[in-house]
Amino acid sequence: MAHVVTLHLGIVALVAALLTVLAQFGQTSFVLKRGKLYRSSGQWQDEDYDVRANGKLVGRLIHAKNTSGPPELRWTWSITAIAQAIPGETNGHASTRAEAMAKFRAAWAQHGKK
Protein backbone atom coordinates (compact mmCIF):
# COMPACT_ATOMS: atom_id res chain seq x y z
CA MET A 1 0.00 0.00 0.00
CA ALA A 2 2.85 2.40 0.83
CA HIS A 3 4.33 1.85 -2.64
CA VAL A 4 1.00 2.75 -4.27
CA VAL A 5 0.73 5.97 -2.24
CA THR A 6 4.34 6.88 -3.05
CA LEU A 7 3.78 6.17 -6.74
CA HIS A 8 0.58 8.24 -6.73
CA LEU A 9 2.32 11.18 -5.04
CA GLY A 10 5.16 10.90 -7.55
CA ILE A 11 2.71 11.07 -10.46
CA VAL A 12 0.93 14.05 -8.91
CA ALA A 13 4.27 15.83 -8.49
CA LEU A 14 5.24 15.03 -12.08
CA VAL A 15 1.95 16.38 -13.45
CA ALA A 16 2.27 19.53 -11.32
CA ALA A 17 5.82 20.06 -12.61
CA LEU A 18 4.68 19.57 -16.21
CA LEU A 19 1.84 22.08 -15.79
CA THR A 20 4.30 24.58 -14.30
CA VAL A 21 6.64 24.19 -17.27
CA LEU A 22 3.78 24.57 -19.75
CA ALA A 23 2.59 27.70 -17.95
CA GLN A 24 6.07 29.18 -18.18
CA PHE A 25 6.06 28.71 -21.93
CA GLY A 26 2.55 30.13 -22.24
CA GLN A 27 1.00 26.87 -23.38
CA THR A 28 -2.64 26.32 -22.58
CA SER A 29 -4.06 22.82 -22.74
CA PHE A 30 -7.40 22.65 -24.51
CA VAL A 31 -9.96 19.88 -24.25
CA LEU A 32 -12.66 19.37 -26.87
CA LYS A 33 -16.00 18.06 -25.61
CA ARG A 34 -18.87 17.18 -27.91
CA GLY A 35 -21.67 19.67 -27.40
CA LYS A 36 -24.45 17.11 -27.73
CA LEU A 37 -23.02 15.17 -24.77
CA TYR A 38 -22.44 18.12 -22.45
CA ARG A 39 -25.22 20.61 -23.25
CA SER A 40 -28.69 19.67 -22.12
CA SER A 41 -30.84 21.87 -24.34
CA GLY A 42 -31.32 21.99 -28.08
CA GLN A 43 -30.14 19.72 -30.85
CA TRP A 44 -26.43 19.66 -31.46
CA GLN A 45 -24.49 18.35 -34.40
CA ASP A 46 -22.05 15.47 -34.07
CA GLU A 47 -19.21 17.82 -34.96
CA ASP A 48 -20.06 20.62 -32.51
CA TYR A 49 -17.44 20.99 -29.78
CA ASP A 50 -16.99 23.05 -26.67
CA VAL A 51 -13.38 24.12 -26.18
CA ARG A 52 -12.33 24.04 -22.54
CA ALA A 53 -9.20 25.28 -20.78
CA ASN A 54 -8.67 24.50 -17.10
CA GLY A 55 -12.25 23.22 -16.94
CA LYS A 56 -13.75 26.48 -18.20
CA LEU A 57 -15.63 26.97 -21.45
CA VAL A 58 -13.50 29.25 -23.64
CA GLY A 59 -14.75 28.60 -27.17
CA ARG A 60 -16.43 26.45 -29.80
CA LEU A 61 -15.59 24.53 -32.95
CA ILE A 62 -18.46 23.67 -35.29
CA HIS A 63 -18.56 21.73 -38.54
CA ALA A 64 -21.04 23.14 -41.04
CA LYS A 65 -23.94 20.85 -41.93
CA ASN A 66 -23.96 22.21 -45.46
CA THR A 67 -21.05 20.58 -47.27
CA SER A 68 -21.80 22.26 -50.60
CA GLY A 69 -19.92 25.42 -49.62
CA PRO A 70 -16.21 26.02 -50.09
CA PRO A 71 -14.00 23.57 -48.14
CA GLU A 72 -12.20 26.40 -46.33
CA LEU A 73 -15.51 27.39 -44.70
CA ARG A 74 -16.48 23.93 -43.41
CA TRP A 75 -15.32 24.57 -39.84
CA THR A 76 -16.06 27.62 -37.71
CA TRP A 77 -14.06 28.43 -34.59
CA SER A 78 -14.67 31.09 -31.96
CA ILE A 79 -13.14 32.21 -28.69
CA THR A 80 -16.13 32.87 -26.42
CA ALA A 81 -14.29 33.65 -23.18
CA ILE A 82 -13.37 37.23 -24.01
CA ALA A 83 -15.46 40.33 -23.43
CA GLN A 84 -15.27 41.79 -26.95
CA ALA A 85 -15.08 39.62 -30.05
CA ILE A 86 -12.79 40.85 -32.81
CA PRO A 87 -14.14 39.53 -36.14
CA GLY A 88 -11.48 37.64 -38.06
CA GLU A 89 -9.15 37.57 -35.04
CA THR A 90 -11.11 35.79 -32.31
CA ASN A 91 -13.25 33.76 -34.70
CA GLY A 92 -12.96 32.42 -38.22
CA HIS A 93 -13.16 29.50 -40.61
CA ALA A 94 -11.01 26.53 -41.55
CA SER A 95 -11.18 23.53 -43.84
CA THR A 96 -10.43 20.89 -41.15
CA ARG A 97 -10.92 20.49 -37.41
CA ALA A 98 -7.14 20.41 -36.92
CA GLU A 99 -6.74 23.68 -38.83
CA ALA A 100 -9.59 25.25 -36.84
CA MET A 101 -7.93 24.22 -33.59
CA ALA A 102 -4.55 25.59 -34.74
CA LYS A 103 -6.18 28.93 -35.62
CA PHE A 104 -8.02 28.91 -32.28
CA ARG A 105 -4.75 28.26 -30.42
CA ALA A 106 -2.96 31.08 -32.28
CA ALA A 107 -5.80 33.51 -31.57
CA TRP A 108 -5.89 32.42 -27.92
CA ALA A 109 -2.16 33.11 -27.58
CA GLN A 110 -2.75 36.65 -28.84
CA HIS A 111 -6.17 37.56 -27.40
CA GLY A 112 -7.46 34.94 -24.96
CA LYS A 113 -5.03 35.03 -22.07
CA LYS A 114 -5.78 38.52 -20.79
Query: pLDDT digits over 46-88, tens only?
Result: 678 889 998 888 999 998 876 677 777 889 999 988 777 888 8
- Among residues 89, 35, 87, the alpha carbon closest in space to that of 60 is found at 35
- Judge contact between 110 and 88, C-beta under 8 A: no
Q: Which residues contact 29 (CB under 8 A, 6 or more apart)?
A: 22, 53, 54
pTM to 2 decimal places? 0.66
- Among residues 112, 54, 45, the alpha carbon closest in space to that of 78 is found at 112
